[in-house]
Structure 1
Amino acid sequence: MLELTKKYSIKKIGDLKDFITVTYVLIDDIYQEITPTHIKERRNINKSILSDSKIITISIVGELLTIDSEKAWLGFCKKNLKDLFPRFSHRTRFNRTRRALHSVIDAIRKELTSKLGFRDKSFRIVDSIPIPVCKFGRACFHKSFKVDSAYGYCASKKETYYGFKLHAITTIEGFITVFILTPANIDDREAVWELIDDYNSITTVGDKGYTSKHLPSQLQS
C-alpha cells in the first residue's frame, strides 16, 4: 500500500508516473471505442478540467494502490503529478463526475476482461467475502450505510457482522470477471443468479455455501 505521508524518491514517483501513463492509454483507448456519443459529447464536456479518461484513471490507480482516502490520494496527485495533470478539478466535482461515469467504468472493465481473454474461460470460481462497515459493537450507532447495509453471518470466522457482502466470479487464475455488492444478509445462492446472468455456458465451482438440492439443476437449465 502506498503510504501518502512518506517523502518519495524520484525513482518511486517516476515508476508511479509510468504506471499511470500506461493505465491511462489503455483506459482511454477502450473509452473512445465503447463509450456512447451522448456521453462523450455531453453538454459542457469541453469545459471540463479533467477528461473522463483521466478521472477514471486516477480513481482506478488509487484503488489499485489500496488507498482508502480519496482526499489524501487527490492531494498526493496534485502535489506530485503536476506534469501528468497540470490542472485539477475540485474534489466535489471530481467525485460527482466519477460517480456519473459508473456505467462507463463497468463497461471498460467488461471490455478489458474480454481483451485479456478471460471472458471465454470455461471454468470459474464463485465465492463471497464479508465487508463489515464498522465494529460489531458500533453497528447500532452507525448511520453512513444504514439504508443499504444489514446484519450477516460469516461462517468461516463464525461471527455476525454488520455491513455488506461481496459476491464474485473469478477465473481459475483469480481474475475477477463479475461481481456484485449486496447487504450482508443476502444468501450466496440467491446472489449467484445475478452473477451468471451474462453467461451462456460456464462451469462454476463453489464452497458449501452454495449447496442446495435444486440449485445445480436450476443452473443447468
Structure 2
Amino acid sequence: MNNLNANYKRILEVLRKISKEQLLACQRRQPKLSDLELIGLSLTAEYLGIDSENDLFRKLPLSISAKIERSVYNRRRRRLSHDLDSIRVKLASYFNEFENCFIVDSMPLEVCKLSRSSRSKICKETDYSKPDKGYCASQGSTYYGYKLHAICSVNGVFHSIDLSPASVHDINYLKDIRTQISDCTLIGDRGYLSADFQLNLFETCNIKLNTPMRNNQKDYKKQPYIFRKSRKRIETLFSQLCDQFMVRRNYAKSFEGFKTRILSKITALTVIQYINKFIFDRNINNIKISII
C-alpha cells in the first residue's frame, strides 16, 4: 500500500487501456508529464490517502517529481476535471451497462464549522458556487457546505454524481436524473418521497421510483425487504469514501479545487473497483486491499 511508484504504474496501466488521449486538445507543446500521467498520479495519491500536495511531492520518486512542479500540477489537475469525469464515466460503464436497478442518496460535505461560516471565504469566488447552511436528517445536525448527490448500482459502482449547496432539498436532484438514466427501478429513502415526481419520472423516462412510505400515510405498505437491503449499498459506499478516501477532509480554497478533489476521490474508488474485477477477479468492494 505504501509503494507509491508501483501503485502509480498499476493505475496508469488501467488509464491507458481505456483512454487513447494523452494530452488535452488545446495543448501546443508536449509537457514532460502527460495529462493522463498527471491524472494517474492524482488518483494514486487519493488511493493512498495522501490528501496534501506538499506531502505527495515529498514522497514522489525523482523520476516523476522532476517532470512537474507542485503549483503547475495543482493548476493542471483543476483544468483536467472534465477529462477526469469522462474517465470515471467510462470506467463505470463497464459495470453499469446492463443494470436496471439503481440507488439514489445524498451525503453532507462540510466546508467549515458553523461558527466560522459568516467570515469564511472558502468557495465564494462566484455566486453560483457559494456554500450554504443545510440540515442533515441522518446525523440530526446543521452544517455549512455542500451536498453530494449520487446514483449507484446495486453492485456498488457510482453511475452519476453532482454537487449542490447544502440548503437544496434532495428531491430537486430527481429533475436531473431524467437525463442520466431511464427504463429502470430507482430506490431512495424518504427524502425522495413525492407522488408527483414518481409519476413524472415514470411517464417521461420509465423510471420506477421506490421509496419507503411514512407510517401515517394512507394505504401504508412496508417497503419490500430486498429494497431496504439494497439501499444500504450506497450508504456503505459513502462510508468507504469517508474512511479511506477522507472525502470530508478537504483543504481546497476554491470551488474548482473542491470539486476536483471530490471527483478525484470518487474516480479513484471506481478505478480500484475496476482493478479488483478485471485484473484480480475478486470482490469489487474490497477497497482496502493491495493492487500490486
TM range (shorter): 0.7 to 0.9
Amino acid at match of 1:27: L
1:57 aligns with 2:40: yes
The aligned residue for residue 26 of structure 1 is 14
Asked if the contact 1:119–1:177 (Cα under 8 Å) also holds between the matched residues in 2, the reply is no
The structure 2 residue matched to 1:82, chosen from 43, 47, 62, is 62
SS in structure 2 at match of 1:131: strand
Shift of 1:133: 0.7
SS in structure 2 at match of 1:214: helix
Deviations 1:56-110 (A, max 9, x none): 0111122223332222223222xxx335x26231112111211121111111111
Measured in 2, the distance between the counterparts of 1:216 and 1:122 equals: 17
| Structure 2: segments with no counterpart, 5+ residues | 204-292
The structure, 1 or 2, with the larger RCO (C-alpha pairs under 8 Å, 6+ apart) is 2
SS in structure 1 at match of 2:168: coil
Asked if the contact 2:22–2:35 (Cα under 8 Å) also holds between the matched residues in 1, the reply is no
Shift of 1:220: 0.9
Q: Aligned ranges for residues 145-156 of structure 1 at < 5 Å?
A: 145-146=123-124, 147=127, 148-156=130-138
Q: Aligned ranges for residues 117-196 of structure 1 at < 5 Å?
A: 117-146=95-124, 147=127, 148-196=130-178
The aligned residue for residue 220 of structure 1 is 202
Amino acid at match of 1:26: V
Amino acid at match of 2:70: R
